Structure 1
Amino acid sequence: MRVIWALIGTAALAACSSDPLLHNIRAGQSTPDEFAIVPTRALSMPGDLNVLPPPTPGGANITDPNPKGDAVAALGGNPAQLAAQGVGAADGALINYASRLGVQGGIRQQLAVEDVEWRSKRSRRLLETVARSDVYYRAYQTMTLDSWAENERWRRAGAQVPSAPPKTLD
């Protein structure tokens, strides 16, 4: 019986954490991803050596694996679209409008700090403080949009709304 209580105590102690990065499953990952290791492509000799592309230091090699590009090509897409090509022509006006009052650097870090402060001030109960449990969802519950009610509100107003899957009972 003591062994069971010791295991329960160890598990409870291991569950106690106030780390806000626990919502991000990749946070703190410093080891290589073993699923990202793929073999290189086979070497091949081109028919004409005069048409070889010029070398690009730091660039990709012809034999480098490209699993995402291969998957896109297998599904009938254009693998060249995976490369970062900047802001698309259709999004330029949106970016200009959103940044019309200026752009603040380091906004993600500032929001992370403000989020931790917001959650520490709200929805903390004594037992949660002692157990250091997560109050993320309860802290933001008043700001959560009921998507089903909003969909119905717009539908009743006569707006064309996309069809939604039936609401499941949880």
Structure 2
Amino acid sequence: MRTALGIIVVALAVSGCSQKGLMDLRSDSYGPDEFLILPNKELEIPDNLNALPEPTPGMGNRVDPNPKADAVAALGGNPATLGQTAVPSGDGALIAQANRYGTPGSIRTELAAADAEFRRRQSRGTRIRLFPVDRYQQAYRREAIDPFEMNSRYRASGYMTPTAPPVE
């Protein structure tokens, strides 16, 4: 009886170690991806059949699902602006303020290289892994912002802040 109970306890303890964090998005399953299956919209018959565009190979049709546009419309946005690459005229002041000191054209590659170097420096001596560890949280531990501390700081300064759950 005692050995059976010990085996069950060990099995439960080992099974708890297999939990993946939210930062590990790799799938170890060979099954279908349920997020790739989208239902089609209902067929529509337009009022004027002569106004239909000519079919183009490789292009979508009117009933193909467009999850990004559907999400934008559900959140109150304008799905027609998804394909635009120009900055909207209402954001001109924001862009001017952000560019007031100039912006280098290679900022993305510079930041990616600096981040890779930072994570490499932070991971020294942690090459051997006996247990799964969240390396992202380890590397950026010093840069993390405590939301409860910031909330209390803003409240002490007189700013109105939204309610927050109690600290656990």
**TM-score exceeds 0.5:** yes
Within the candidate set 131, 155, 158, 2:129 is matched to 131
Distance 1:141 1:153 in 2: 20
* Structure 1 contact 72–78 (Cα < 8 Å) conserved: yes
Q: Which residue of 2 aligns with 1:19?
A: none
Equivalent residue letter for 1:161: M
Distance 2:154 2:42 in 1: 56
SS of residue in 2 equivalent to 1:116: helix
Q: Which residue of 2 aligns with 1:99?
A: 99
Instruction: Determine if the alignment matches structure 1 residue 156 to structure 2 residue 156.
Output: yes
Q: Per the alignment, do residues 60 and 82 of structure 1 end up closer, same or farther by CA in structure 2, a change over 3 Å counting?
A: farther
Distance 1:140 1:95 in 2: 29
Q: Which residue of 1 aligns with 2:11?
A: none
Distance 1:34 1:117 in 2: 36
Distance 1:111 1:47 in 2: 53
Per-residue deviation, 1:138: 2.9
Distance 1:55 1:92 in 2: 38
Equivalent residue letter for 1:113: A
- Report the number of matched residues: 142
Instruction: Determine if the alignment matches structure 1 residue 166 to structure 2 residue 165.
Output: yes
Instruction: Determine if the alignment matches structure 1 residue 62 to structure 2 residue 62.
Output: yes
Which protein is richer in helix relative to its size?
1
Distance 1:138 1:162 in 2: 29
Q: Deviations over 1:60-93 (max 9, x none)?
A: 42222234545666x5846635623443344322
Identity of aligned residues (%): 41
Q: TM-score, normalised by structure 2?
A: 0.57
More contact order relative to length (CA 8 Å, sep ≥ 6):
1
Gaps of 5+ in 2: 1-17
Q: TM-score, normalised by structure 1?
A: 0.56
Distance 1:45 1:109 in 2: 48
Compute the RMSD of aligned alpha carbons.
4.0
